[in-house]
């Protein structure tokens, strides 16, 4: 029995190492690879993916899972089996040529999407989008023929937080945030950002400043890197964690908060237990939990007043043109709400979730077959009008703006789960720590340690729903996020 | 039959991709990885190596080789089969636990060797060295029980240039170079280097200068990178070729010629046919052929007078302290012979090969069992005395100086094969091109193209011995190297 468990861990170690190798190849491609390297790299990535799939679906892995389960595993072993089984069953049930076809279609779809967006021509993308939907629905049918395909897709990334939980969260957002945003909109346009007024900002200086901020937040230099890439991301493991960021020449805040966001992802990785590298206990829980760590640091630290009391003097040393900007002005600027914005990645902390809601609803209807592909632009624009009072004039600024649908339809809600959970963690942390005082003093260690103790060190020891209870004492709820949002923005906008 | 050939190529593609992934992991570890990443990276490398071994020794690979061979393959297919079979048979004949034990022993041996060298204590290393020898001899017995084990080891890297060929080369070196070096030694010490006199040289400036030199030589920026690392090396493929270099603050020439050397390795990779990536036809031939490309550029270009006519003005722009150094002084400085030197990696173009000869002879006697492990220091020092007239006072400067024996005993001769072949290629090229004039004008394209046409584009299409005949019109011979050395140094030293 112990022998079966050891062998199970060995096999999972190989799967982890392949995943990590693939991530290094991907990081390298985006950060250091010469441009000409693409053809060979695409080939290498595809080979490593195929080997991963082979190992993940190896019937011997299934037999080992059964053997461990049949022999009175302890709680820890049960947790390991459950997490590996989740991945195994999802992959093993799906025929290899369907996996292959999905992968090829998605990769071709990226180029189709890119051109369609450039040319603002949804019709170009529509047949591909339909094909991806059909393949994904077929795949979901293999994983669980009795379940709602959209729910199956959701559970790929978020197995322990049901689609009903997500619906409840969106109901709260609709009932509480939509009116709040309307109230803010009625106040008229937010004042111009003093940061934008004082631009441009040299990108090399911004990069140096981001490094300084990471040092202030406490990013272990022995185990981390910061680089630039076209799209910010975080990869690695507890020993080697790499974040990337990008800069906006016109507004120094974008790069700064982007870096703080990725720092949150990175800190989660670094907090996973060293000795569990290669086992599920040494891996991050779901997408939503990962996102909560990024959003905690971006929003509850990076958009807080104490943070700007701390960081603005440092920032003025680096960018003397900011010498006349006050803490209040900075705090207001990083918390502006602009419902007129059409683009998700440029959205503020509140309206962001309505952009997610639009995608959640349209994607779900499309997967369910209640919406034909050519009805998507209209359905999208209607919802933008309902929730935000604006409607895109082009599909490029509407339903063609995100690449995500080339990969699937159920990834967006992780962003909202992340924000909701970040607020819940923030509230729980404040029971134990004087968070504002610590931020103001630049004393981030107790905050990092709280997160490590309550979230990071558990790895995948608990399913996401249990982990949230272990960390905060109660199940996932949108209460804290709604309360935080109302309090902060009522104060900021004098509502 | 075509089907078997396609399947063979597919399998080899996977092996290539794993090898390339392993190289990226290794490059990353030495160039970009945070120091703390080592434990996870070691684990990833070991997993990828194990998967490579599994694929390389898969019995189905052997069956496909047989199937292709049995069905009247054309010449190209024969070449592919022969190269894959060489690797397959070597790996498949060796039991997996022996492979595993060799790998573990070698990796532990590195640390033992490092400490023994630091403490100048050969006895600490002796038992490990014996163990490595025994394991390597056991391995050679599996590959070919009837052959001389040292010859088997040699053929791992150099299957087509027999050990007898290597012996003939060393005989020529002994009979022709040893007296030449003695003559030079009798002239007394070489004049001090004006480069050393004008140091130090800022390392960032040296890095920028190396980039300039690579641009001058014509290193395609779309497909290449230059970085720094503790030990210079080249990795990659025809699409993505990465060289590293290191700098000596006291002598700008070291980093420059090191970069030119790696450029030669890199150019070979870039010249392999794009469309053959993943097949033996898209891979470099043996270690010795690879080394010949590096040494051609380092010695026949980088140490030539026309090169210094070209490069010295550029160099003076970057390092104004060199304004008074003349081309003649520079040319003499980069071609100094110093037989009193004890360290291979610091040796000049001539004595270098006597350092190799010492290792070749001692290694061979040790593998044959004619030399006990504790007799190695004495055997080493005797040979240094015979060939170079000097004897190390410590083993740290003697038989403990190189890490290579932790991996095996037959790698050094590739350096000498490389120099010999470089001179042979240089002579053949001079039949077609006015090499000196091209170098003086900085017109490197015809030189690069000659090498591509005669060597690079063939990949492993021909075995090394045939490739040499295809490229130069005759089999490998030391004649050209000896002639080149005599002419150059007779002139330089006024012998």
What are the pLDDT digits (tens) for A43-97?
999 899 999 999 999 999 999 999 999 999 999 999 999 999 999 988 898 998 8
For B422, counting Cβ atoms within 10 Å of its Cβ (0-12 exposed, 13-18 middle, 19+ buried), the class is buried
Nearest to B36 among A17, A38, A240 (CB): A240
Q: Which residues of B touch A242 (CB under 8 A)?
A: 34
Catalytic option among A83, A158, A262, A332: A262
Does position B235 have pLDDT exceeding 60, yes or no? Answer: yes
Q: Give bridge partners of residue A227 from the DSSP assignment.
A: A244
| pLDDT band at residue B434 using 50, 70 and 90 as cut-offs | very high
pLDDT band at B433 (very low <50, low <70, confident <90, very high): very high
Q: What is the mean pLDDT of residues A92-113?
A: 89
Give the pLDDT mean for A302-308: 98
Q: How many helices (H) and strands (E) does chain A have?
A: 22, 3
Q: Which of B324, B317, B331, B325 is nearest to B440 (CA)?
A: B331
Chain A residues inside the 8 Å CB shell of B221: 34
Q: Please determine, for residue A424, whether its predicted confidence score (pLDDT) is greater than 70.
A: yes
Cβ contact (<8 Å) for A36 and B222? yes
A277 contacts on B by Cβ (under 8 Å): 39-40, 43
β-pairing verdict for A241-245 and A234-236: antiparallel
Query: Please, which residues bridge with residue B242 across strands?
Result: B225, B235
Mean pLDDT in chain A?
Answer: 95
Residue of A10, A12, A18, A32 to mutate when probing chain B, most B C-beta within 10 A: A32
For B255-311, the pLDDT digits (tens) are: 999 999 999 999 999 999 999 999 999 999 999 999 999 999 999 999 999 999 999
List the single residue in B with minimal CA-CA distance to A19. Answer: B44
Mean pLDDT, chain B, rounded, equals 95
Chain B residues whose beta carbon lies within 8 Å of the beta carbon of residue A237 = 40
pLDDT above 80 (res A249) = yes
Cα–Cα distances in Å, from B436 out to B53, B294, B334, B440? 46, 18, 17, 6
pLDDT on residue B459: 98
What is the DSSP-derived secondary structure letter of residue A236?
Answer: E
Choose the mutation target among A18, A47, A222 for the interface with B, i.e. most B CBs under 10 Å. A47
Tell me if B40 and A13 make a contact (CB, 8 A cut-off): no
pLDDT value of residue A108: 87
A376 contact partners, CB below 8 Å, separation of at least 6:
A122, A126, A129, A362, A366, A399
Whether residue B12 has pLDDT greater than 80: yes
Give the domain ranges of chain B: 2-92, 122-495
Q: How confident is the model at residue A245 (pLDDT cuts 50, 70, 90)?
A: very high
- pLDDT > 70: percent of chain A: 100
Strand partners, A226: A243
The pLDDT value given to residue A104: 85
Which of A32, A36, A220 is opposite residue B223, by nearest beta carbon?
A: A36
Select which of B91, B262, B276, B332 is catalytic: B262
How would you label B209-218 residue by residue, b for 16+ Cβ within 10 Å and e otherwise? Answer: bbeebbeebb
CA A215 to chain centre: 23
CA–CA distance, A417 with B269 (Å, rounded to integer): 48
Residues with Cβ < 8 Å from A422, sequence gap 6 or more?
A292, A293, A295, A296, A299, A300, A481
CATH classification number, B122-495, choose in 3.40.50.300, 2.60.15.10, 3.40.50.720, 1.10.1370.30: 1.10.1370.30
Closest-CA residue of B relative to A48 is B18
Provide the pLDDT confidence category of residue A386 given band limits of 50, 70 and 90.
very high
B25, B221, B225 ranked by CB distance to A21: nearest: B25
Res. A1: pLDDT tops 70: no
Q: Report the gap between the CA of B290 and the closest CA in chain A (Å).
A: 21
Helix axes A122-143, A376-388, angle to 10 degrees: 90
Q: Which two tokens stand for residue A112?
A: 């189709």
- A453-478 mean pLDDT: 97
- From CA B271, how far away is CA B99, in angstroms rounded? 33
Band (A98; pLDDT cuts 50, 70, 90): very high
Kindly report the nearest CA distance between residue B452 and chain A, in angstroms.
Answer: 19
Tell me whether residue B375 is one of the annotated catalytic residues.
no
Rounded to 5 degrees, φ, ψ at B221 are: -65, -20
Topology annotation, domain A105-199+268-495: 1.10.1370
* Per-residue pLDDT reduced to its tens digit, B410-419: 999 999 999 9
| Cross-chain Cβ contact A223/B37 below 8 Å | yes
Q: How far is B126 from chain A (nearest CA, A)?
A: 34
Confidence class for position A128, pLDDT limits 50, 70, 90? very high
HSE-CB of B491 using CA atoms within 13 angstroms: 12
At B83 the pLDDT is 95
**What single DSSP character describes residue A335?**
T
Q: List A234's β-bridge partners, or say none.
A: A243
Q: Min CA distance, B281 vs chain A (Å)? A: 15
The answer to whether the CB atoms of B223 and A14 lie below 8 A apart is: no
Q: Which of A43, A58, A220 to mutate: most B Cβ within 10 Å?
A: A43
């Amino acid at each position: 029995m112990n022998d079966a468990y050891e062998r199970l861990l060995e096999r999972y170690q190989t799967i982890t190492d392949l995943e990590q190798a693939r991530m290094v190849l991907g990081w390298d491609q985006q950060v250091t690879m010469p441009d000409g390297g693409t053809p060979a790299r695409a080939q290498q990535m595809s080979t490593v993916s195929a080997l991963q799939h082979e190992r993940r679906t190896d019937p011997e892995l299934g037999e080992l899972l059964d053997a461990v389960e049949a022999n009175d595993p302890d709680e820890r072993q049960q947790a390991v089996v459950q997490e590996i089984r989740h991945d195994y069953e999802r992959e093993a049930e799906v025929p290899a040529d369907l996996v292959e076809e999905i992968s090829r279609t998605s990769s071709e779809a990226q180029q189709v999407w890119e051109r369609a967006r450039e040319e603002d021509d949804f019709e170009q993308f529509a047949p591909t989008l339909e094909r991806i939907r059909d393949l994904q629905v077929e795949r979901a049918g293999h994983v669980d023929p009795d379940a709602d395909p959209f729910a199956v897709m959701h559970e790929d990334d978020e197995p322990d937080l049901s689609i009903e939980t997500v619906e409840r969260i969106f109901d709260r957002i609709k009932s509480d945030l939509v009116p709040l945003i309307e109230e803010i909109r009625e106040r008229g346009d937010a004042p111009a950002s003093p940061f934008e007024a004082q631009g441009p900002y040299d990108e090399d200086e911004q990069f140096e400043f981001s490094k300084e901020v990471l040092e202030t937040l406490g990013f272990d230099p022995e185990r981390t890197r910061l680089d630039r890439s076209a799209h910010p991301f975080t990869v690695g493991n507890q020993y080697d964690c790499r974040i990337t960021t990008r800069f906006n020449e016109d507004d120094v805040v974008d790069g700064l908060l982007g870096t703080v966001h990725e720092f949150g992802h990175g800190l989660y990785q670094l907090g996973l237990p060293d000795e569990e590298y290669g086992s599920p206990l040494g891996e991050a829980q779901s997408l939503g939990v990962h996102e909560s760590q990024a959003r905690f640091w971006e929003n509850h630290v990076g958009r807080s007043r104490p943070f700007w009391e701390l960081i603005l003097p440092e920032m003025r040393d680096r960018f003397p043109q900011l010498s006349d900007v006050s803490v209040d002005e900075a705090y207001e600027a990083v918390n502006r709400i602009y419902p007129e914005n059409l683009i998700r990645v440029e959205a503020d902390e509140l309206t962001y979730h309505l952009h997610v809601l639009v995608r959640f609803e349209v994607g779900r209807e499309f997967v369910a077959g209640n919406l034909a592909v050519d009805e998507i632009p209209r359905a999208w624009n209607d919802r933008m009008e309902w929730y935000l009072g604006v409607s895109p004039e082009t599909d490029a600024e509407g339903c063609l703006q995100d690449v995500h649908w080339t990969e699937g339809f159920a990834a967006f809600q992780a962003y909202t789960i992340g924000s909701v959970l970040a607020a819940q963690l923030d509230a729980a942390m404040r029971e134990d720590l004087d968070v504002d005082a610590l931020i103001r003093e630049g004393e981030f260690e107790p905050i990092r340690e709280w997160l490590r103790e309550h979230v990071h060190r558990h790895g995948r020891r608990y399913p996401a729903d249990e982990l949230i209870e272990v960390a905060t004492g109660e199940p996932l709820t949108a209460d804290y996020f709604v309360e935080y949002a109302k309090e902060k923005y009522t104060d900021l906008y004098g509502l």
